[in-house]
Amino acid sequence: MSLPPLIPRTTLFGNPQRTSPRLSPDGKYLAYIAPDANNVLQVWLQEPGGDDRQLTQDKKRGIRSYFWTYQENQLIYLQDADGDENFHLYLVDVTTSMVRDLTPFQGVKANPIELDPDFPDRALVSLNLKDRQKFDVYSINLTTGAVEFDTDNPGNIVSWTADHQFQIRAATAATPDGGSELLYRATADDAWESLRRWGPDDEGGAVGFSKDGNTLYVVGTHDANAQRFIALDLAARNETVIAADPQYDISNIVTHPTEHTIQAVSVYKAKEEWTVLDEAIRGDFEALAQVRPGQFVISSRTTADDIWLVAYLTDDGPVYYYRYDRNRKDATYLFSNQPKLEDLALASMEPIEYQARDGLTIHGYLTLPVGIEAKNLPTVLFVHGGPWARDMWGLNPPVQWLANRGYAVLQVNFRGSTGYGKDFLNAGNRQWGKTMHDDLIDAVDWLCNQGIADRTKVAIMGGSYGGYATLAGLTFTPDVFACGVDIVGPSNLITLIRSVPPYWQPMMAMFAHRVGDIETEEEMLKERSPLFFVDRIEKPLLIGQGANDPRVKEAESEQIVEAMHRAGKPVEYVLYTDEGHGFARPENRLHFYGIVEAFLAKYIGGRAEPADEVEGHCGVVK
């Protein structure tokens, strides 16, 4: 028994060959993202019977997000500057390839709210243009580019919902206690009224309106443990539960592109599970389930709803894209995002669960190396960010890379992760570095007790909250891990909270409730901050940071590196001068993961591909 050949890092961390295909609403065009001659991701167009051609000319960072408008021949892509997250909206005319910045405002972030086929020349967008702390609504004319003020944000609204007459009629607001409030107005001229409040231990918000505007769809945990999907009759003010699960939150919702009827909803357990509500698509879901193994996702639909684009996700291969003809119930294969992955010996991701020390059931995923016995393996505990997020099943390039190098990889949805109902989420309140961290240590014990992991060769690694967990692991439990890799993780909860972007201000009451109140609990926050316990670190640490990160500032990494240097502790530090909260450019990913690979091989003994010189990265190794 032996491991399969080394998969090159360029295969796993380089750009996809083609990804994110989208049908134009009329079905005439297929757009997708692919690298150009300089290996920068651009939007490309496939014309009927013609050659594929590049539509955009992004110089450096690459485009990752775009969508079609309902204007004939126009699409919009989003781009920020070097990871600052101040995204602009750019309009592309696919016939002339002309690109126009629709939101050319320095230091302002644009969030798309709504496009509607009945209002094809307009887009509703939220911008923090007048005040960096709050996002008001603006209407942008896609023909002239005119930006018109639409709706004022009193300061506490965190999301907006338009009806199908293109009027903002619902909003979700943050409340001073850390909860949220559902606001509604019958017309744009009416004052806002409160339909419902959720306390800080509940969650909820608006999803969308029915076509006639008389029903507002919401999700909420009120009167239940898990988020339910609910129809609120705006005349009678009564609620009807459309879909619910006692343990798992509602995950995704499929609506008809023009009728706006609710067609299917999902909950995400170990994998995503769909409930079809509209008989008109039951046969389609049944047909799609037979096309190939894996989980399917409807990624775009024509306005006529005769053609769907469907992506199939699997844990041991690329994403496969199909064009599905609803009339013929026939799926035609288009391409995969990474053909180089199709014939490789990739590892499967197995759902697991274990009992935490206080009896709480914790779920996660275990990925084991292919070709060798799962016994006494070097192991990486790979911790997700958020922390109000969760790991999911499917191909994960870092996980495959680690498994290919001979590591067992354990991903844990520790308490405080989302998707498992409010009791599980609230079990993480004020537990950063405490029971949230205990869940990770219990995961290591569980894996070692099964004989899978070598207790002396367990590394901890993660980004954002996962980076914090890494620092917590090496400071609060210094004997558990052999080494740690922190990617854009906060080292001091006090400075983290004091340096958030201005537009996070409405969410800071929620932060105070779930993490700790900086006004009344500063000492507790200090006790949970790895920076103040650097003297306990015994094992090597590697840190990667983006210089332009608006969430976890560069100072979060700089201060712990400086403290470790003063204390004579082993630390390696790489700063990427053109990145933000994570590494978007493939050159930077390849550079950093090359350093990580050598680091892990040195301290827990997996295989390593030789480190190549990566051209074009901006990493500064300190």
Q: Which helix (H) or strand (E) holds 588?
A: helix 586-604
- Average pLDDT of the segment spanning 177-184: 98
Tell whether 527 is covered by a domain. yes
What is the phi/psi pair of residue 422, to 5°? -75, -30
29: Cα separation from own chain's centroid: 28
Sheet-wide strand order for 541-546: 349-355, 361-367, 408-413, 377-383, 453-463, 483-487, 541-546, 571-576, 619-621
Give the CA diameter of the chain.
Answer: 72
Tell whether 260 is covered by a domain. no
Tell whether 313 is covered by a domain. no
Tell me the residue range of the domain where 489 lies.
349-621
Report d(CA 235, CA 211) in Å as an integer: 15
Tell whether 440 is covered by a domain. yes
Tell whether 595 is covered by a domain. yes
Model confidence pLDDT, tens digit, residues 192-227:
999 999 999 999 999 999 999 999 999 999 999 999
Tell whether 2 is covered by a domain. no
Is the pLDDT at 504 greater than 90? The verdict is: yes
Model confidence pLDDT, tens digit, residues 446-479:
999 999 999 999 999 999 999 999 999 999 999 9
Residue 162 pLDDT? 98
**Which of the four pLDDT bands, split at 50, 70 and 90, describes residue 622?**
confident
Residue 595 pLDDT? 97
SS3 for 596? helix
Residue 559 pLDDT? 98
**Which of the four pLDDT bands, split at 50, 70 and 90, describes residue 435?**
very high
**Which of the four pLDDT bands, split at 50, 70 and 90, describes residue 589?**
very high
Is the pLDDT at 132 greater than 80? The verdict is: yes
Is the pLDDT at 1 greater than 90? The verdict is: no
Polymer length in residues for the chain: 622
Integer-rounded Cα radius of gyration of the chain? 24
Is the pLDDT at 50 greater than 90? The verdict is: no
SS3 for 41? strand
Q: What percent of the chain has pLDDT over 70?
A: 100
Is the pLDDT at 115 greater than 90? The verdict is: yes
**Which of the four pLDDT bands, split at 50, 70 and 90, describes residue 611?**
confident
In sequence order, what are the residues at sequence separation of 6 or more whose Cβ sits closer than 8 angstroms to the Cβ of residue 560?
471, 491, 492, 530, 531, 534, 543, 571
Residue 604 pLDDT? 98
Q: Give how many domains the chain has, as a whole number.
A: 1
Residue 194 pLDDT? 97
Tell whether 303 is covered by a domain. no
**Which of the four pLDDT bands, split at 50, 70 and 90, describes residue 133?**
very high
Is the pLDDT at 368 greater than 90? The verdict is: yes
Q: Residue 517 corresponds to which amino acid?
A: D
Q: Across all residues in the chain, what is the average pLDDT?
A: 97
- Average pLDDT of the segment spanning 569-579: 96
200: Cα separation from own chain's centroid: 23
Residue 612 pLDDT? 82
Model confidence pLDDT, tens digit, residues 515-566:
999 999 999 999 999 999 999 999 999 999 999 999 999 999 999 999 999 9
Tell whether 84 is covered by a domain. no
CATH code of the domain covering residue 527: 3.40.50.1820
Task: List the catalytic residues.
Answer: 464, 549, 581
Report d(CA 90, CA 76) in Å as an integer: 5
Beta-strand ranges (E) seen in 302-403 are 307-313, 320-325, 330-336, 349-355, 361-367, 377-383
